[in-house]
Amino acid sequence: MTVTYRQPGVVLTDHRFTVPLDHADPGGETIELYAREAVASDKADRDLPWLLYLQGGPGFWANRFVGKEAWLGRALEDYRVLLLDQRGTGHSTPAGRQTLPLRGGPAEQAAYLGHFRADSIVRDCELIRRRLTGGAPWTVLGQSFGGFCTVTYLSLAPEGLDTALITGGLPALDAHADDVYRAAYPRMERKVTAHYARYPQDVERARRIAEHLLTHDVVLPGGHRLTAEAFQSLGIMLGTGDGSHRLHHLLEHAFVPTPHAPELSDAFQEQVRSLLSYASHPLYALVHEAIYGQGDRPTAWAAQRVRAEFPQFDAARTLAGDAPLLFTGETVHPWTFDCDPALRPLRETAELLAARTGWPALYDPVRLAANEVPVVAAVYHDDLYVDTAHSLRTARAIRGLRTWVTDEYEHDGLRAGAPRVLDRLLAMARDEV
């Protein structure tokens, strides 16, 4: 059943699709996918080409725009847009603390989640495409992890693509998770150094908060344990255009006086809880390192192991001297599952995923080298989340791919740049620039 409704300047239609959990077993168990179609009001009756949007993540559902916000207005000039809630997210069959026990114990849950990577998402898209377009290829816009999925699409089913547009999402084709994080920690340090150069007053503020957390057991509203390591993970904010400013505003009013001693304010604690909680996107934590899994080598909590190679990120060691506290970025650790009540019941499941071997390949270098689909990619210079060197090496491995390397935007350039980023990519794909 489809439902159609309107927002300013846009006609929206809700779609639901039934797809196999395991595409290798098309007659087996199924799950449901949700997607929202958007078309400009004055073009609703026209036969327009389709653009599929693949959200970043993993584990986030598609943007919930109001009207023609951000890049959507530009896309609606030329396309009928499909905003897909990738499997396990949003209105698609959910996967989290409340629903995964329906699968059974941790072993069954981990086996189930093995079907929630880019290869399954691409095969979902192909089933949807054939139902919506009558078999015509469509344009795909992949943001961040959505870009990873787009490269998998080019590897598995390029015949389904008319054009591929990628923003901040060219993955390393053969890097192990260790390689990903070994490249990431120096970028994190550079981002933190730049933040302190902008806001030098935050050096003492961050040290004071970390010292408090090392000497006090702090439990946030809702049961989230705030440790020094969890506080450091707020550095994930530094990968967006306004993230440094938002982090500064968060730190500047962390403490309030009380009859006994200064304490972390309720307002600070509530903001931190909302920033650190995985309740709305548990898949992000569960399969975050699994998206890099290929072959027989387990990911084995790569971010945690590699962090030990960079002792400057150790909070206790930092506070024993006078160095600035370093924040971290897009990393998931074993303690993440101990701190967050939305993840605690899934700790054993996460351990099994970290130990898993035999991951299927996600990319086909031979097919990518023979690519015939027009592909363009925005590569953000010194992107916190995706290594620029890895991205450019992959760009050279995909035949015909054109890059736009820019330091005008951070990782969220597609959103922050409104129509400008998408407009540039479309012009490049059409050989207009």
- Residue 70 DSSP label: T
* Buried residues in 54-69 as b, exposed as e (16+ CB within 10 A): bbbbbbbbbbebeebe
Residue 409: what residue type? Y
- The residue out of 355, 379, 404 marking a domain boundary is 355
383 flagged as catalytic: yes
Q: Are strands 263-264 and 255-256 parallel, antiparallel or unpaired?
A: antiparallel
Residues 276 and 410 in one domain: no
Among candidate residues 119, 202, 383, 412, the one labeled active-site is 383
Residues 229 and 86 in one domain: no
pLDDT computed for residue 402 by the predictor: 98
Among candidate residues 92, 144, 233, 277, the one labeled active-site is 144
pLDDT higher than threshold 70 for residue 1: no
Nearest by Cα to 332 from 304, 362, 300: 304
* Alpha-carbon span 215 to 90, nearest angstrom: 38
pLDDT computed for residue 196 by the predictor: 98
Residues 231 and 193 in one domain: yes
Among candidate residues 15, 233, 411, 412, the one labeled active-site is 411
Q: What is the mean pLDDT of residues 235-240?
A: 98
Query: Would you call 109 exposed, middle or buried from its count of C-beta atoms within 10 A (0-12, 13-18, 19+)?
Result: buried
Residues 349 and 219 in one domain: yes
* Alpha-carbon span 102 to 106, nearest angstrom: 11
pLDDT computed for residue 79 by the predictor: 98
Residues 196 and 310 in one domain: yes
- The residue out of 303, 335, 355 marking a domain boundary is 355
pLDDT higher than threshold 70 for residue 270: yes
CB 177 within 8 A of CB 299: yes
- The residue out of 323, 355, 387 marking a domain boundary is 355
Residues 242 and 374 in one domain: no
The predicted-structure confidence for 129-160, as pLDDT tens digits, reads as follows 999 999 999 999 999 999 999 999 999 999 99
Residues 168 and 185 in one domain: no
Residues 232 and 291 in one domain: yes
The phi-psi region of residue 130 (left if phi > 0; otherwise alpha if psi is between -120 and 50; otherwise beta) is alpha
Residues 42 and 159 in one domain: yes
Residues 296 and 421 in one domain: no
* Alpha-carbon span 332 to 57, nearest angstrom: 13
Residue 29: what residue type? E
391 flagged as catalytic: no
Residues 340 and 381 in one domain: no
CA-to-CA dists, residue 20 to 17, 24, 29, 125, 187, angstroms: 10, 8, 6, 12, 39
Q: What is the mean pLDDT of residues 50-57?
A: 97
Please list the residues that pair with 140 across neighbouring strands: 52, 164
CATH number of the domain enclosing 102: 3.40.50.1820
Q: In terms of residue numbers, what domain contains 133? A: 3-174+363-429
Residues 211 and 322 in one domain: yes
Q: What is the mean pLDDT of residues 109-126?
A: 98
- Provide the domain count of the chain: 2
pLDDT higher than threshold 90 for residue 329: no
411 flagged as catalytic: yes
